A and B are shown apart, each in its own frame.
Chain A
């Protein structure tokens, strides 16, 4: 059985439909990239997959004994109140929360994991800083480190590289494909179609037309060609 099987899904807010007829499957070890224009419903799809909101119709089935506590998630936006006192370390550690279950305190293994992920994201020096006083890119790295702490089998990323500088962006893509190579399944939303095509194994395109298939199928398909043309037209000034 596949890790995730989505059939005939219709998405929306309070019965206002945004998009429908989304069907795809994700197998263990896949690297799925979700692409589409702004407002096409990518983030909504991700939230629906995570059970943060209800689908209008259709079914989402998980298989392979996937548990919620094995999933890591990077939201597109985290609205944190302006006066929230939280240090970087506290936030990254909170990613270990699902795996700690009912145990009240973090184990030394979990603390080491948090430290390792902070090191990976290059925020070890910021560990004691207050989250809300960081720059947008630094905040993004903190949330990524938190997502990495939560991940054991599946990692969902909503535009992970937005706000990161080119060097960290490249490192980030490298890191994600390393994780993928180590057996973690990736579902990533991205506007960076070039990177999507370089790293992903499967593409889901949502928008006026829906496409799901492997990268090569996407390149050959109408939707893929049209989207690529559009992207190149946009960036090839």
Chain B
């Protein structure tokens, strides 16, 4: 088995996939804690569907670099979603559901009507579940992913304390002069970026899992924001790595294998949390 792994690791595309996968897992877990606590879990879901729709448009126009259209569209939607969440003419969750389902349907429709590909359902399936795309990354895409991931990590570390303040008690933060709107915007934009890069790894349907599972798992056991953040980052990276190795060795789809490992980790953390809580009481 080790031999087989070694053999695979000789291929650059496998190494690319591992690097990108680990980075994506790291980024998505960082903001996960905030998104879960702000009750924004579904924004991730909604945005990933928007990204799917944008992807469909890109493929209809035969754009070579899909990111050019997917990234801006997703970022703009993130900003708009956050706005509606605040103004609440249409309630936040309803707005998200509307946009997400609408984009999904529209994207599929576009692909169906205009697609020239012979394997349409295969294309759709891989966009939704990210089945193979991670293994077909070009060097340029890898670099883009790396650059965006590094940017996300730096932004997160730089604004970590602000993000905590705005997440914990937005009214207090605003009262003492923190620009809460600006940071909410930042969170939305970074979320959008993460989702666009994570689509390569797990596809648009499974991204939410990558964002929320590590955070939820860490919250079972840890009790401070910092420890939860660190734990969910580590956990996410470990799960993504394991998931990718398993999928290479067993030939399973990458995205769903990673998510399955995340779910398994959640169950372990959940039980551990219960046992620990039981002992403390």
Using CB atoms and an 8 Å cutoff, list the residues of chain A in contact with chain B. 47, 50-52, 67-69, 71-73, 75, 78, 80-81, 83-87, 89-91, 93-95, 97-98, 100, 104-106, 128-130, 133, 146, 150, 156
Identify A52's interface contact among B161, B175, B226, CB under 8 A. Answer: B175
Docked pose: A106 CA to B228 CA in angstroms: 19
- Min distance, Cβ A98 to any Cβ of chain B, angstroms: 4
**Residue of B with least CB distance to A105:** B161
- Min distance, Cβ B153 to any Cβ of chain A, angstroms: 13
9-residue interface stretch from B109-117, B165-173, B202-210: B165-173
Count chain B residues whose beta carbon lies closer than 8 angstroms to a beta carbon of A. Answer: 29
Q: Given A80-B169, A89-B224, A104-B158, 14 more contacts at CB 8 Å? A: A51-B175, A52-B174, A52-B175, A67-B177, A71-B175, A83-B219, A85-B222, A90-B164, A90-B168, A94-B168, A97-B161, A104-B159, A105-B161, A156-B175
**Residue of B with least CB distance to A46:** B175
Q: Mark B230-250, 1 if CB is under 8 A from A, else 0.
A: 000000000000000000000
The reply to whether A69 and B37 form a contact with Cβ atoms under 8 Å apart is no
**Chain A binding site: helix, strand, loop or mixed by DSSP?**
mixed
- Min distance, Cβ B224 to any Cβ of chain A, angstroms: 4
Asked if B132 is at the interface of the complex by the 8 Å CB criterion, the answer is: no
Using CB atoms and an 8 Å cutoff, list the residues of chain B in contact with chain A. 33, 37, 157-162, 164-165, 168-169, 171-178, 218-219, 222-228
- Kindly name the residue among A73, A90, A94, A146 whose own CB sees the greatest number of chain B CB atoms within 10 A: A94
12 cross-chain CB contacts under 8 A: A51-B174, A52-B171, A68-B176, A69-B176, A75-B175, A78-B169, A85-B225, A87-B225, A93-B161, A94-B168, A97-B161, A104-B160
